[in-house]
Amino acid sequence: MLSVYLYIPNVIGYLRVLMNCVAFGVCFSNKRLFSVLYFLRFVSTFGAVLDMVTDSVLVELLLLCRPGMIFLLLLALDIASHWFQMYSTFLSGKVSHKDVKDSTSWLFKLYYGYRPFMAYCCVACEVLYIALFLLAEKNSENLTDVLVSSVKRCSALSFLLVVSLFGWTIKQAVNVIQMKTAADVCVLYDIAKKA
């Protein structure tokens, strides 16, 4: 039993959680250190040990750093779409939540079927949130003001913000498609169960 807790990918996961706790502990007092720690935990486990739950929680925490209804709605969409997708995967007997071969959405199939594209969208989403966090002069600054002032600055961070906007948009669209598709699976399961 102890060997499971000390399994190397699990130990890396524990380190990621610890690094994230430290990052969010300094997020308002030292934005640069926060950004370095945030991305260090992402890059260090890219690939084989990328943990969906840990990553989702981190994005949600990052969204909570920005006040406003839009960020709360994005937070709810991200959590709900992933929850529905995981649950519908369980109901349909699939091995992975990324198995969307039977989907009618070309975007959904492209997202989960072409891993480099999915990686770009996921990283772009996190880069956008980090860039917004770093570009805001004060934590209560209006999102529109942050976007307008960042485009005027023409800095490297502004460039990252603009480049990541496409991937972020795709990821939000996929979240909506994912939630709708997974909700349909749950409804069809209920109908079949009652019949």
Active site residue 145: no
Same domain? For 7 and 34 the reply is: yes
pLDDT digits (tens, 9 = 90+) for 168-193: 999 999 999 999 998 888 888 888 88
pLDDT digits (tens, 9 = 90+) for 108-122: 899 988 989 998 998
Structure tokens of 139? 């934590």
Choose among 166, 175, 177, 82: nearest CA to 128: 166
Q: Cα dihedral sign for 22, 28, 29, 34?
A: positive
Same domain? For 28 and 1 the reply is: yes
**Looking at the 3D structure of the chain, how many domains does it have?**
2
Same domain? For 58 and 121 the reply is: yes
Structure tokens of 110? 């492209």
Same domain? For 104 and 139 the reply is: yes
Same domain? For 61 and 111 the reply is: yes
Catalytic one among 55, 78, 99, 190?
55
Same domain? For 121 and 37 the reply is: no
C-alpha angle with apex 172: 58 to 144, nearest 5 degrees? Answer: 85
Same domain? For 41 and 79 the reply is: no
Domain span at residue 46 reads 1-50
The contacts of residue 72 (CB under 8 Å, 6+ apart) are 63
Tokens 């772009």, located at residue: 124
What pLDDT, on a 0 to 100 scale, did the predictor assign at position 107?
93
